[in-house]
Each structure stands twice: as C-alpha cells, then as structure tokens.
Amino acid sequence: MEAKILCILVVFCFGISAIVGQQCADKLNYCSQWPDSYCTDYLDYMKTNCPKKCGYCTTVPTTVPGTGCSDKQSQSNCVRWKNSGYCADGHKYQQYMKDNCKKTCGFCGGSTKPTGATTKPTNPTQPSGKLKIKAGFYLF
C-alpha cells in the first residue's frame, strides 16, 4: 500500500514539474532575437509565444509585508514599464500601472505619486495587445 501511494506521489510530482516547465518556455526558437520592446508592443502575441523571454512565466503577485499591496504582473514587467515612465503622473498607462504594478510604482498606501520614473520616455513602448508589423519584421 505504501509503495502504491509513493508511486502515485512520484508520478504526480513529475507531472506537475513537466506542466510547470512547459508553461515557462518560449514556443518559438527565435524569441530571443526580437527586441525587448516586442514584449509590450505585441503583448498578447508575446505572452502566448515568448513568455520566458518576456518574463511572463512568473505572475505570482509579490506583496509588501503587512500592507496587502502587490503587483499583479511579473516584477520584471513592472520594473521595465516603470523605467519606461508608465508610472508617471499623466502617462496614458498610469491607471494600468496603479491596477497592475502598484508595489513597483509606489502606489501602495494611498499614495498618488510613484517613486521614480516621473518623466515621459522619448520613444515610449506601450502595453497593448495589438500585433503590429514593423518594417522587415513579421511575427508569423
């Protein structure tokens, strides 16, 4: 009986490991060749096909102890978007950042001012789900 339970646990654990490993892998061999800006320019496409490159594999919210304040997106995405100025007052994605990257932007505890990244980028990238074709680059 113990051997049967042990066998079931081993199969279950290996099955879970295989599923987790599959979820955190790029489906396309050339994901690493695309610029990082594609992770936000082509959000839906990249989440589906290049999640490892773009840091979409770890979407477990990170919480500031004792506050309940957390990021809903991965830390790597929130930091990248913050560094692109999305947390800044008046930025068209500030509300998205308040909803999804609250901890990284410093919006915890009712603060309306983010900590850092208060200027707009000169060449902003946007978290959109639209697939755009840039000169010479096709995503199919």
pLDDT value, residue 122: 38
CA–CA gap between residue 16 and residue 13 (Å, rounded): 5
Per-residue pLDDT tens digits of the chain, which is 140 residues long: 566 655 454 444 444 334 444 457 889 999 989 988 888 888 889 888 988 888 777 545 555 455 678 899 988 899 999 999 999 999 999 999 999 999 999 988 754 444 444 333 333 344 444 444 444 554 44
**Distances 129 to 38, 50, 108 between C-alpha atoms, Å:** 11, 14, 27
pLDDT value, residue 67: 61
pLDDT value, residue 124: 39
What are residue 63's phi and psi, to 5 degrees? -115, 135
Q: What is the 3-state secondary structure (H, E, C) of the chain?
A: CHHHHHHHHHHHHHHHHHHHHHHCCCCCCCHHHCCCCHHHHCHHHHHHHCHHHHCCCCCCCEEECCCCEEECCCHHHHHHHHHCCCCCCCCCCHHHHHHHEHHHHCCHHHCCCCCCCCCCCCCCCCCCCCCCCECCECCC
pLDDT value, residue 54: 84
- Going by their DSSP bridges, the two strands 62-64 and 69-71 should be labelled as antiparallel
* Number of residues in the chain: 140
pLDDT value, residue 84: 92
pLDDT value, residue 68: 74
pLDDT value, residue 36: 85
Q: What is the greatest pairwise CA distance in the chain?
A: 66
pTM: 0.37
